[in-house]
A and B are shown apart, each in its own frame.
Chain A
Amino acid sequence: MSAISTMKPAVSEAFARRDRAGRALADDAERIARACQEMAVLFRLGGKLIVFGNGGGGTDAAHIAVEFMHPVIVGKRALPAVALSNDAATVSGVGNDEGLAEVFAHQVRHWADTSDMALGISRDGRCANVLRGLETAKDQGLFTLALIGGDGGALARSPAVDHVLVAGSDDPAVVKEIHVTIYHLLWELVHVFFDQTGPLSGETPG
Chain B
Amino acid sequence: MSVLEESPSDGIGGLYPFLYAGRADMDSALAEANRSTAEKAAEIVRLRRRMAEESGAELAECAEEMALRFTSGGRLFTFGNGGSSTDAQEVATTFLHPSHGRPLPALSLTSDVAVVTALSNDVGFEVVFARQLAALARPGDIAFGLSTSGGSCNVVQAFEEAAHRGMLTVGLAGDQGGRLAELDLLDYLFIVPSSSVHRIQEAQTTVYHVLWELTQHALDSISVPRGHRSG
Closest to B99 in A: A172
Is A192 in contact with B11, judged by CB distance below 8 angstroms?
A: no
Q: Which of B15, B37, B99, B221 contacts A26 (CB 8 A)?
A: B37
Task: Count contacts on B: residues with CB < 8 A to the other chain.
Answer: 71
Is A3 in contact with B67, judged by CB distance below 8 angstroms?
A: yes
Which residues of chain A are within 8 angstroms of B69 by Cβ–Cβ distance?
none
- Among B21-29, B125-133, B178-186, which stretch is in contact with chain A? B21-29
Q: Which of A6, A70, A163 contacts B1 (CB 8 A)?
A: A163
- Among A59-67, A92-100, A105-113, A128-136, which stretch is in contact with chain B? A59-67
- Among B115-123, B156-164, B165-173, B199-207, which stretch is in contact with chain A? B199-207
Is B202 in contact with A11, judged by CB distance below 8 angstroms?
A: no
Which residues of chain B are within 8 angstroms of A177 by Cβ–Cβ distance?
202, 205-206, 209
**Number of inter-chain CB pairs below 8 Å:** 202
Given contacts A7-B64, A55-B97, A72-B197, contact A176 B90 (CB under 8 A): yes
Q: Which of A15, A172, A206 contacts B49 (CB 8 A)?
A: A15
Which residues of chain A are within 8 angstroms of B36 by Cβ–Cβ distance?
188-189
Which residues of chain B are within 8 angstroms of A15 by Cβ–Cβ distance?
48-49, 51-52, 56, 206, 210
- In angstroms, how far is the closest chain A Cβ from the Cβ of B67? 7
Any chain A CB within 8 A of the CB of B86? yes
- In angstroms, how far is the closest chain A Cβ from the Cβ of B152? 13
Is B202 in contact with A184, judged by CB distance below 8 angstroms?
A: yes
Which residues of chain B are within 8 angstroms of A45 by Cβ–Cβ distance?
16
Is B45 in contact with A22, judged by CB distance below 8 angstroms?
A: yes
Which residues of chain A are within 8 angstroms of B136 by Cβ–Cβ distance?
none
- In angstroms, how far is the closest chain B Cβ from the Cβ of A184? 4
Which residues of chain B are within 8 angstroms of A174 by Cβ–Cβ distance?
209
Any chain A CB within 8 A of the CB of B40? yes
Which residues of chain A are within 8 angstroms of B197 by Cβ–Cβ distance?
72-73
Complex CA distance for A81 and B170, rounded to whole angstroms: 32
Q: List 22 A-B contacts (CB under 8 A).
A: A1-B64, A1-B221, A10-B217, A11-B56, A19-B48, A34-B4, A37-B11, A38-B3, A41-B16, A55-B97, A56-B94, A59-B86, A60-B90, A72-B83, A72-B198, A163-B1, A163-B3, A172-B99, A184-B201, A189-B33, A189-B36, A203-B18
Task: Enumerate the 7 nearest inter-chain pairs by beta-carbon distance, A residue then B residue, closest first.
Answer: A3-B221, A15-B52, A29-B37, A7-B60, A63-B86, A173-B209, A33-B33
